[in-house]
Structure 1
Amino acid sequence: MNAFLAGRLTDFGHAHEFRVYFEDTDFSGVVYHARYLQFLERARSDFLRLKGIGHRGLAEGAFGEPMAFAVRHMEIDFLRPARIDDVVRVETRTLLLGGARVVLDQRIFHGELLLLEARVKVAVISPDGRPRRMPPAVAALLEPGPREE
């Protein structure tokens, strides 16, 4: 796998850059609000992939029984807009690990300018959609990194 395509692991978690294309924007050249969800999703998926937790492997039972992650709740603060041709950086951090969930902090930056903050609660589910406990091996890979104050 080309790690460049998946962003990079960092001391705090994961960072991934995306260029804003015309298709990401509304009529004024500002990123459409729903497109930020796609940037966040791609970064979360690549964070997991680089940690050794691929979605396909989860579904096939790589950590025991088949399972998946599903977004249960998300809080988003849109602070400033990104615009066409900007390069934005999505940073993902594990905040909390529970028996059947993980809480992630995601932020989107343009340079050092904070554009968006999101807190994402992700549930661990079985193939039929029922909550299940997170396997210890998965939890170990998602342990929270250092926090910035």
Structure 2
Amino acid sequence: MKTNHDIAGWLEDGGHRLDVRVYFEDTDFSGVVYHARYLHFLERGRSDFLRLKGIGHRELAAGAFGAPMAFAVRRMEIDFLRPARIDDVLTVTTRTRQLGGARILLDQAIRRGEELLVEADVKVAVISPEGKPMRMPAPVLEVLARDLDDAGSPARQ
């Protein structure tokens, strides 16, 4: 049975899964997903991962976890392995690889069924409303650390 949270995907195995459909607006003239659209799918995955963890962007900006803050992508390395096409249903996965006081390293992937289409290594920085680097508030760090083992690696369930 589907729940209201299905629109934001679901948490599983220390990470997050989000299904997205490829629409005409996501493709180029040939019906293949335009490379920049994958960034949108990955962003949705990261945002919904945080949302389902109880860490919404509005709450972060309002200082609900301590000082007002935001997450900003600092670096992203992407491998485009196979194309997606119009009407495909893709699954975006997001997993925390490592946490630091002012950054998060994430592993993201986009699959069509079992077929790996895109892999991304993402470095996210914690910033103040003025855009300056800052330390992650302890309550946010605690929520995100639940998916990691004592060595800072993704926890196996």
Normalized against structure 2, the TM-score is what?
Answer: 0.91
- Does 1:24 pair with 2:33? no
RMSD: 1.4
The sequence identity of aligned pairs, in percent, is 71
Shift of 1:46: 0.4
Distance 2:143 2:4 in 1: 20
Q: Which residue of 1 aligns with 2:104?
A: 102
Gaps of 5+ in 1: none
Supply the AA of the counterpart residue of 1:114.
L
Tell me the amino acid that sits aligned with residue 119 of structure 1.
D
1:54 maps to 56
Query: 1:111-141 CA distances to partner (integer Å, 9 max, x unpaired)?
Result: 0000000011000000001111011211121
Which whole-Å CA distance do the structure 2 matches of 1:50 and 1:74 have between them? 23
Deviation digits for residues 61-102 of structure 1, max 9, x if unmatched? Answer: 011110000000000000000011100000000001001000
Q: Whole-Å Cα distance in 1 between the matches of residues 29 and 14 of structure 2?
A: 36
Residue of structure 2 in register with 1:138 after alignment: 140
State the distance in 2 between where 1:138 and 1:121 align.
16
- Quick check: 1:39 aligned with 2:44? no
Q: Which residue of 2 aligns with 1:120?
A: 122
Aligned equivalent of 2:95: 93
